Amino acid sequence: MAELGTLLCREVDLAFHPESVALLSFDPRSGMLTDPKVRGRRLDASSQLATLIASASDPLAVDLEDSRSPLAKLPEPDRYWLVDNAFRLIVPILARDGSLLGLIGLGEKKSELPFFKEDRQLLRAIASGIAWVLEVELSRSLGSSRSWQEPLEGPASLPPSDPGAGAEIAKECPNCGRLYASYTIFCTSCSRRLEPSHVPFLLPSKFRFERRIGTGGMGVVYRGVDLSLGRPVAVKTLRRVSPEDAMRLRREARTAAAVSHPHLAPVYGMETWQGTPMLVMELLEGGTLSQRIEKGKLAAAETVELGISMAEALEHLHATDILHRDIKPSNIGYTRDGTPKLMDFGIARVMFDLRRDVEVSPAANLDDDSVLLPPTSVWNLPTTVTMSKQLVGTLAYLSPEALNGQPADTSFDLWSLAIVLYECLLGRKIFAGGDMQQLMSRIRNGRVPDFSQTCPEQDELLGDFFRSALHKTITRRPATARELKGRLVALRPRLAT
């Protein structure tokens, strides 16, 4: 059966170039549809999804956002199964009596083109050919008088539940963050007793999780290994969302993955596991800008070069109609050789639209990183008309226009970047501590501390730059990322002397 699956997947990949393909066949010992190569989670043959697939005369398109689709009416566990496997088309493999022998699951085409009528006809023909093979194999293993839809009795029979098809939850060391297989009890590094993690130790055929490297209000970041390419990756878990929203996040991650720039941390894709979205990104082993600022102020020349790099990244993002909307020191990372890269771009808009984020009360402690960290924190702020405005981003880096509820545009990112550069030279947050309402009032009115007073040792041209970039009136600020970059480039000769 494994050889058949390998052959099928190779031929389907050559014909359609999907991002993923899996063959699941009925296992009478467990009553499950299983993939011998573990490319897809197994499926209970008695589930409503399996019944729906068996009743389909044509391949089923997977679009959970289409309310007319019969798949959208399935129980939530079945819809999560579709999302976790990233299938966009399911081709039933039926026996002569109409019972379900298996299925072929295909991911999105790499070309992003739809599956055409001719594609579906060819896949039906392939499924018919495989059905004959599967039927013969099952008849041989069970005897011709027995139905393969009846699970075998006895000790060899497996439970019908699906704990994750080999993706069991990992054990995690609360001290050093290392991850272990589920049966491990103690950490081999620091001897601490392990606790259940948020992720599996192994996502079959995809990733192995190694260590927790960061925690924030939005989720947890883990170091992992891409099993197919052998490269290290960073995997950020996001808050659990509905299956439909998970598909939207996956689509947005595909858009972000198509954006490439030397100062943007690549997004490799989006996976889901038991309803938890996981954003797969480049692993930046040089730490974050926030960690560097904690150690002390940055030099003026280094800050200007960082600003030029980030402005170039924003210029590229804005040219592709993507707004970051949460630029802050913790979202700027460094490669091992010191190259700065902007992280967490491309999904903030969707996370904001989902309205699944935490609400931060006005009494929250503004110096608490857990409050300031989530890229998509929603601040419910009472207004004079007893209505609330929802703002995406981190409060200390929001522009006056963002805080006043104006439609998002590129100026939001430019303000945030200027605040970050100011903090590099100041060595601490500009807007932090105190009463939230007072802090919001300061930001709304553009009351940024005068640079010549907070950093009197710095060149006066830097002060001119910040007075312009953080001016209360938006028309006095740089209008584009290119203009912001140009003003920073003009500072190079002065700082080099």
394-418 mean pLDDT: 93
Neighbours of 109 (CB within 10 A): 16
pLDDT of residue 287 exceeding 80: yes
Three-state secondary-structure class, residue 153:
coil
- Please write down the long-range contacts of 280-283, taking CB distance under 8 Å and 24 or more positions apart: 280/207, 280/224, 280/226, 280/233, 280/234, 280/235, 281/233, 281/234, 281/235, 281/236, 281/343, 282/233, 282/234, 282/341, 283/223, 283/232, 283/233, 283/234
Question: Of 282, 310, 332, which marks where a domain is finished?
Answer: 282
Residue 365 has pLDDT above 60, yes or no: no
Sign of CA dihedral 351, 353, 356, 358: positive
Which tokens belong to 365? 């402690």
Provide the pLDDT for residue 351.
57
Residue 366 pLDDT > 80: no
Indicate whether 152 belongs to any domain.
no
Range of the domain at 205: 169-282
Interatomic CA distance for residues 290 and 328, integer angstroms: 8
10 and 30 part of one domain = yes
Give the CATH number for residue 367.
Answer: 1.10.510.10
Rounded Cα distance between 81 and 103, Å, is 14
In this prediction the pTM is: 0.76
Q: Is position 154 within any domain?
A: no
Same domain, 307 and 386: yes
Is 163 inside a domain boundary? no
If you average pLDDT over residues 335-341, what whole number do you get? 96
Position 349 confidence tier, pLDDT thresholds 50, 70, 90:
low
Rounded to whole angstroms, how far apart are CA atoms 37 and 40? 8
Residue 102: how many other CB atoms lie within 10 Å: 29
Residue 350 pLDDT: 57
Residues sharing a CB contact under 8 Å with residue 26, sequence separation 6 or more, in sequence order: 32, 33, 45, 100, 101, 102, 134, 138, 148, 149
Q: How many domains does the chain have?
A: 3
Alpha-carbon distances, residue 357 vs 80, 197, 235, 239, 389 (angstroms):
20, 22, 19, 8, 14
Q: How far is CA 9 from CA 95, 140, 236, 250, in A?
A: 20, 24, 29, 23
Contact by Cβ (8 Å): 64, 29: no
Q: How sure is the predictor about 347, in pLDDT bands with cuts at 50, 70 and 90?
A: low
The residue that leads in pLDDT, 15 or 367, is 15
- Partners of 341 in the β-ladder: 333
Structure tokens at 294: 């904690």
pLDDT tops 60 at residue 367: no
Among 218, 252, 282, the domain-final residue is: 282
Instruction: Flag whether pLDDT at 360 surpasses 50.
Output: no
| pLDDT at site 497 | 64
Q: Which tops the pLDDT comparison, 417 or 379?
A: 417
106 shares its domain with 177: no
Mean pLDDT of 369-388: 35
By the 8 A CB rule, do 451 and 462 touch?
yes
Q: Phi and psi for 277 in degrees, rounded to 5?
A: -70, 145
Task: Give the C-alpha separation, 33 to 42, whole Å.
Answer: 5
CATH number, domain of 87, equals 3.30.450.40
Q: Are residues 93 and 193 in the same domain?
A: no
Burial (CB count <10 Å: 0-12, 13-18, 19+), residue 10:
exposed
In a domain, 205, yes or no: yes
Q: Answer with the residue of higher pLDDT: 366 or 293.
A: 293
Domain identity same for 464 and 340: yes
Q: Does residue 158 lie within any of the structural domains?
A: no
Which candidate, 475, 437, 330, 451, places its Cα nearest to that of 394?
A: 330
Q: How confident is the model at residue 29 (pLDDT cuts 50, 70, 90)?
A: confident
User: By the 8 A CB rule, do 239 and 290 touch?
Assistant: no
Q: Helix, strand, coil shares of the chain as percentages rounded to 5?
A: 35, 20, 45
Which of 256, 282, 308 corresponds to the end of one domain? 282
Query: Domain check: are 355 and 469 in the same one?
Result: yes
Cβ–Cβ under 8 Å, residues 381 and 391: yes
The rounded percent of the chain whose pLDDT value lies above 90 is 49
Same-domain status, 485 and 390: yes
Is the separation of the CB atoms in 314 and 326 below 8 Å? no
- The Cα 81–Cα 273 span in angstroms is 9
Report d(CA 39, CA 291) in Å as an integer.
Answer: 38
Does one domain contain both 96 and 239?
no
Is 321 in the same domain as 392? Answer: yes
Out of 138-142, 148-152, 272-276, which region has the weakest mean confidence (pLDDT)?
148-152
Tokens of 237: 């878990």
Q: Is the pLDDT of residue 84 over 90?
A: no
Q: Is position 417 within any domain?
A: yes
Residue 297 has pLDDT above 80, yes or no: yes
Verify that 350 and 445 share a domain, yes or no.
yes
The band of 372, judged by pLDDT with boundaries at 50, 70 and 90, is very low
Is 236 found in the same domain as 336?
A: no
Residues 12 and 106: beta-carbon distance below 8 Å:
yes
Structural domain includes residue 161:
no
Give the pair of three-digit tokens for residue 335. 């490669």
Does the pLDDT value for residue 61 go beyond 90? yes
Mean pLDDT of 54-72: 89
Classified as helix, coil or strand, 32 is: strand
DSSP line for 456-487? TTS-HHHHHHHHHHT-SSGGGS-SSHHHHHHH
Res 380: pLDDT: 38
Cβ neighbours of 303 (radius 10 Å): 22
Q: For residue range 442-467, what is the model confidence (pLDDT) as tens digits?
A: 999 889 999 999 999 999 999 999 99
pLDDT in tens, 156-177: 333 433 444 456 889 999 999 9
Q: What is the mean pLDDT of the chain?
A: 83
Q: Give the pLDDT of residue 148.
A: 46
Give a yes or no: residue 157 inside a domain: no
Residues 256 and 309 in one domain: no
> Is the pLDDT score of 393 beyond 50?
yes
% pLDDT > 70, the chain: 83
